[in-house]
Amino acid sequence: MTEIVKGGNLPVPGQAWRIAVVRRDAGDGVPEVDASALLLDASGRVRGDGDLVFYNQPVHASGAVRLAGQARDEERRVADWLEIDTERVEPAVQRIVITASSEHGTFGQVPGLHIRTVSATTGEQLALYEVDDASTETAFLLGEFYRRDGAWKFRAVGQGYASGLVGLAEDFGIVGRDPEPAPDDEPVHDDEPVPADEPVSGDAAPEAIPEELLAKVRQAEAEAEAAPVRTPPQVPVQRPPQAGPGSDAELFGEDFPEFVRSGEGKADITVDVPIPAGYVVVESTRKGDGYFAVHSIDEKGDSDALLANTLMEDQGARRVLRYDGKAPLRLRVSCHEPWTVAVRPVSTLEVLDGAAEGRGSDALLYTGPAGLLTSRLHTRLSFEWFNIHGYEPDGRDHLLANEASRLPRETRPLPAGPLLVQLVSADGDWTLKVRPPKENRFWRRTSR
């Protein structure tokens, strides 16, 4: 590993890195410290507030930079780990700066502050820079990764600020403002147990999220970004002249008699009730464990849309499917145990009214105003992919959650209803919470 001094720089090989901001743990006069990152363009400025990755915004929209967690060791050292994937860094981003800040103290009170860069693939230690001249600063620009001749380099900067993270970030173009605390605005508390500590020293890299899960996250983000905002050829069902109790659901599809079929083992099913064009709900359950999947069947007889996919015991799925009404709906069940499949209208879905909880893939109807959706998944696996979409009546798709981690948790904008909220991948117990958008919440900490 190469140790460099303030102002020094060196090439950083590889595509993906993990960066540890290490210092003495808080307590006994040592203040809390937060790590963050800023993605800058050629002018040295952010393109918007979304280019700051920090405690209230832990993942960049591109997925290129994220706060990966915190770790402590027996020597009272603590490290905030960040992850950078240069393959996902947008071309407009020329520099990524790594910072540290403290709300309730100065860095002269923080022993052992240093930044360490580790290869995400090999665990090799690539760079180390120790800050040895801190005094009254409340924020530090520790170092920066920057493009040079088609590759990336790291520079040890060590520039201090007396205005905290807010002042540092505003110097780079962030316009967020720190509001006065609002007594009626309840913070979001994380009451989950903390996962096993990542290493602090950097002698071994933190456990990597499986590449197959990261690939799913990247694909979902890419599809959401590339999706055209247009009305599909299929004409959506129009709102009745007089809105009734089920009018929001009827925007997605008219009511029809439910279809229920039970069986055991593999089977192809033809839904023999009249179904109008629009969205339908396909609910499937099975007894036992092992692989369980349900697909729609296309006109060639091949498996098409995935409507259930789980290994969880005594579990199924509730999925919405956009049906064109041109031919009888056919479904394919793949499993060895007893199962039940039902096809129902959207009006049978539960309404997401403030909060909801459940298990496995599910669908809900949201009819409220625009807000923020906080979603959380509790899983027994070491890592899990948590993916939620929102569908408008005309077929437009919104990505509401897309996270692969030990305890996936995200907050994203929720469009105004009516909206079908589809938990696509949710192998575990999940919770959803809707809250109104708040003005001036950018700097206000929602959790530690």
Q: Which domains does the chain have, with CATH numbers?
A: 2-202 (2.60.60.30), 216-435 (no CATH)
Q: Which of 381, 430, 431 shows the shortest CA–CA distance to 406? A: 381
423 CB neighbour count, 10 Å cutoff: 26
| Nearest one of 239, 278, 249 to 352, comparing CA atoms | 249
Name the CA radius of gyration of the chain, rounded: 25
CA 213 from centre of chain:
12
pLDDT of residue 239: 31
Query: What pLDDT sits at residue 309?
Result: 85
Long-range Cβ pairs for the range 144-153 (8 Å, 24+):
144/95, 144/96, 144/97, 144/98, 145/12, 145/17, 145/84, 145/95, 145/96, 145/97, 145/98, 146/94, 146/95, 146/96, 147/94, 147/95, 151/11, 152/11, 152/12, 152/86, 153/9, 153/10, 153/11, 153/12
Q: What is the pLDDT of residue 261?
A: 94
**Tell me, what's the pLDDT at 210?**
57
**Residue 181, pLDDT score:** 42
CA distances from 419 to 134, 184, 363, 381, 435 (A): 51, 28, 10, 30, 16
Using CA of residue 5, residue 8, residue 11, residue 12, what is the dihedral sign? positive
Backbone angles phi, psi at 250, to 5 degrees: -70, -20
- DSSP, collapsed to helix, strand or coil, labels residue 217 as helix
| Residue pLDDT tens, the chain, 448 long | 589 999 999 999 888 999 999 998 888 889 999 999 999 999 999 998 889 999 888 999 899 999 988 888 888 899 999 999 999 999 999 999 999 999 888 999 999 999 999 998 888 889 999 999 999 999 999 999 999 999 999 999 999 988 888 888 888 988 764 444 443 334 333 433 333 334 555 444 445 555 665 565 556 555 554 544 333 333 333 333 333 345 788 899 999 999 999 999 999 999 999 999 999 999 999 888 878 889 999 988 898 998 988 877 777 789 999 999 889 999 999 988 899 999 999 999 999 999 999 999 999 999 999 888 989 998 766 678 889 999 999 888 998 988 877 778 888 888 899 999 999 998 889 999 998 875 546 666 655 5
The pLDDT of residue 390: 95
DSSP 404-448: EESS-EEEEEEPPSSEEEEEEE--SEEEEEEE---TT-SSS----
pLDDT at 259: 96
